[in-house]
Amino acid sequence: MSSPKVIFGFHAVGVRIKTAPQSVIEVLFDASRRDARMKQFMARAQEAGVRLIEADGLRLAKLAGSHGHQGVAARVNPVAQIHSLDELLESLEAAGTVPLLLVLDGVTDPHNLGACLRVADGAGAHAVIAPKDHAAGINATVAKVASGAAETVPYFMVTNLARTMGELQERNIWCVGTSDDAPGTIYQTDLKRPVALVLGAEGDGMRQLTRKRCDELVSIPMAGAVESLNVSVASGVCLYEALRQRTAVVKAG
């Protein structure tokens, strides 16, 4: 059994209480904070029957490793999750679900990763995939920025990203990479089929081998003075275009 970990912030702790209250060992809260948000949070925590402990800001900051705890932190046990990408893809296939995946190449900033996980959750992506090297792992900062999505979106760190993309292609999952110099745009490609959207870190973009592995390269139209978007914003543009296309098909059907 993995050892307990710490999560903090209203969203991250609130989602864990909502989705897996039995995994919450204890919730520490700043008793001096008596605003409406804290009162609502405390009511939900008490309703779920989790153990509540009063703490001051200093103790919370020490536990969370950050001053951005919002007056709430929790010690939690890991929840049972799908352990491999193959397991996830097989479960989607069995359910007749069309995969929507986000592949991140070289995203090392935990704030960017947290934001990408949050947008992936919002758009209904089934997983986020990243290489083990040159990528951020899940930590308390990622969980805080993700606002609970680190608990709900599977995050797979793979040894060889190009090889993993090849395995996705063997399962007929179309790998669509984003590139500023691509002739077509994200709005011109079919995202209703099984698809993995591949984005690189801002600045460097995708590595050459990752780029070569893509079935198709598309751009995000830029109408202003800046040349590119932050990776989490770009992820949102792409994932929500996929959601738009898929929703339109459902409505048309």
Q: Mean pLDDT, the chain, as a whole number? A: 89
**Residue 119 contacts residue 147 (beta carbons within 8 Å):** no
Residue with tokens 């890991």: 78
Domain endpoint, select from 24, 42, 76: 76
Residues 72 and 89 in one domain: no
Q: How many Å apart are CA 143 and CA 165, to the nearest integer?
A: 26
Total of domains in the chain: 2
Mean pLDDT of the region 189-217: 92
pTM for this structure? 0.71
Closest among 227, 229, 212, 222 to 177, alpha carbons compared: 212
What are the contacts of 121-125 at 24+ separation with CB within 8 A? 121/146, 121/148, 121/149, 121/152, 121/153, 122/149, 122/236, 122/239, 122/240, 123/236, 123/239, 123/240, 123/242, 123/243, 124/100, 124/243, 125/100, 125/101, 125/153, 125/239
Domain endpoint, select from 51, 76, 101: 76
Residues 132 and 231 in one domain: yes
Residue with tokens 């992506």: 125
How does residue 140 score in pLDDT terms, banded at 50, 70 and 90?
confident
Range of the domain at 244: 85-252
CATH of the domain at 174: 3.40.1280.10
Structure confidence by residue, pLDDT tens digits, 97-120: 999 999 999 898 889 898 999 999
Q: Tell me, what's the pLDDT at 81?
A: 66
Residues 212 and 144 in one domain: yes
How does residue 250 score in pLDDT terms, banded at 50, 70 and 90?
low
216 Cβ contact list (under 8 Å, min separation 6): 174, 175, 176, 177, 184, 189
Residues 116 and 202 in one domain: yes
**Residue 151 contacts residue 15 (beta carbons within 8 Å):** yes
Query: Is residue 152 scored above 70 in pLDDT?
Result: yes
Structure confidence by residue, pLDDT tens digits, 51-99: 999 999 999 999 988 888 999 999 998 776 667 899 999 988 988 999 9
How does residue 223 score in pLDDT terms, banded at 50, 70 and 90?
confident
Residues 89 and 209 in one domain: yes
